[in-house]
Amino acid sequence: MPSFFKGRKPKKNHQPDAENQAADHSEDHLQDSLSDNLDIIRQKTGNSSDVVVRQLKMGENSDINTALVYVEGIVDNRSIQEFLLQSMMKDEHKEKLNEHDALEMISEYMMTIGKVTSFDTWDDLFSSLMAGDTLILVDGIAKALSACTKGGEKRSISESTTQMVVRGPKGAFTESIGTNTAMIRRIIKTPDLWMESLKVGRVTKTDVTLMYIHGIANDKVVEEVRQRINRIDIDSILESGYIEQMIEDQTMTPFPTIFNTERPDVVAGNLFEGRIAIFVDGTPFVLIAPALFIQFFQSAEDYYARFDIATSIRLLRILMFTISLIAPATFVAVTTFHQEMVPTTLIVAIAAQREAVPFPAFVEALLMEITFEILREAGIRLPKAIGSAVSIVGALVIGQAAVQASIVSPAMVIIVSITAIASFATPSFDMAISARLIRFMFMIGAATFGFYGIILILLMMVVHLCSLRSFGVPYMAPFAPFIPVNNGDTFIRLPWWSLRQRPRLLSANTVREGKNQRPNPPTSRAMVSRDLKEGDNNES
């Protein structure tokens, strides 16, 4: 019997009556009765204590019931008091009000606030209410007004903590999307800086803004970014990392294919190269797409210093990234398979140190790397007052004790320490984490085949990097495909007067600057000095 009733399906009524259609329409739209509308708002919000309802009597005879509804904590109370309540309670316009066009009169004559919108659906009402706007409802009118009164406590602009520079702007983004976009507007003062606002998340309704420079950004890339964000169907967006993982080209890769930063000058520089910035409300980290591999080794300070200094520092970063990848694997390969490649004196000293160590070099390196990763993670999660002390003391005590206990050799401690320091030289934290993961693959290859294993893993990594795309743009550009004109800002940085073209695969307008921008000082090399006779006469 249960299965019999379970299999039966109710008959579908293909012709809904007019009463059901009217009921659905009334459920979606506001009602004429102010009390009914307020009851629905209280019921929908669960009578939350932070939802404030302020009822007023308006009109010449005080016969027009009006209500202001807002959420305490996310609104600017001063704006509500000065631009809404005081102006609405004045006697100047009371005789003009009537029940039929009260909302229009309030909007035109009484509300002295900037942005005012009108709507008649519950979805728009609750979206506006939860965004920090103030609602004005009038009895007898099935519409509502929304006044922009967003405010509340916000973190002030402070210095960047993840991308430090010696020379350059110090301000960093905050958790307010309005503040972040305004910081870019102050840098790029052109009407071609376009922004598109989206709502992502079924529950959170998070504000997401696309920003690009019209005429420089590629329209196809902009459309691709827009479509990928519109396809996101998730209940919550709490940080830009949600967006990043939902729109990236390749998920099965340790390498980041979307760049993120909290510096406004970095965002502005990437916008001028034709990229698109994605702002997410509630986080100071802005996404930048498309992203290239070489972009993660560039710092904002590279463009503020002289080109020779910037080039040497970039080459140093590439060297440090290589060391952080293969230093432990190289030590394992040398001590296990290729002792003949090391000077005899050095290999004898290393063998004497490892004589009392019971583990092979691979296990020794794996043990030290895992221990250091544990110490680094513990130092990050602990409070600032004791985090650095615990990490430093832990590294010193454990390293010294491990050497004295003959668990690891002193040479391995030196190699692991150099590797850890080298990993900190990568400007991008996401790329540094990728190196930390791939380092173990190189160690496995070195322990299995020696230098041949390292070369094999390196070739596999290069092939994988060349196969990646970031919104259709090759990840290894301008190396693969090789674009000679765009190689002036990769491992090296040429002088600004020679960087005439933008990246060809990113921007629609590749011309960055005019011709003949190279400094041309006068041919005369004589010393600049004042006339001594004229100076002596003036002194006398």
Q: By mean pLDDT, which of 169-183, 244-258, 341-355 is the weakest?
A: 341-355
Instruction: Calculate ∠ Cα 436-438-441, nearest 5°.
Output: 125
How much of the chain exceeds pLDDT 70, in percent? Answer: 88
Average pLDDT over residues 182-198: 94
Q: By mean pLDDT, which of 286-295, 364-373, 450-459 is the weakest?
A: 364-373
DSSP 217: B
Which of 198 and 100 is assigned the larger pLDDT?
198
Q: By mean pLDDT, which of 150-159, 221-230, 374-383 is the weakest?
A: 374-383
Predicted TM-score (pTM) of this structure: 0.85
pLDDT at 101 over 90: no
Q: How far is CA 535 from CA 171, 276, 528, 529, 531, in A?
A: 47, 59, 14, 11, 6
pLDDT at 82 over 50: yes
- Evaluated on CA atoms 210, 215, 216, 217, the torsion sign reads positive
Q: How far apart are CA 28 and CA 298, in angstroms?
A: 52
Q: How far apart are CA 55 and CA 97, in angstroms?
A: 17
Average pLDDT over residues 507-519: 85
Q: Per residue in 161-182, pLDDT tens?
A: 888 888 889 999 999 999 999 9
143 burial (CB, 10 Å; 0-12 / 13-18 / 19+) is middle
pLDDT band (50, 70, 90) for residue 18: very low
pLDDT band (50, 70, 90) for residue 528: low
Strand 116-119 vs strand 64-71: parallel, antiparallel, or unpaired?
unpaired
Question: In the predicted model, what is the mean pLDDT of the chain?
Answer: 86
CA dihedral defined by 259, 260, 261, 265, rounded to 10 degrees?
A: 50
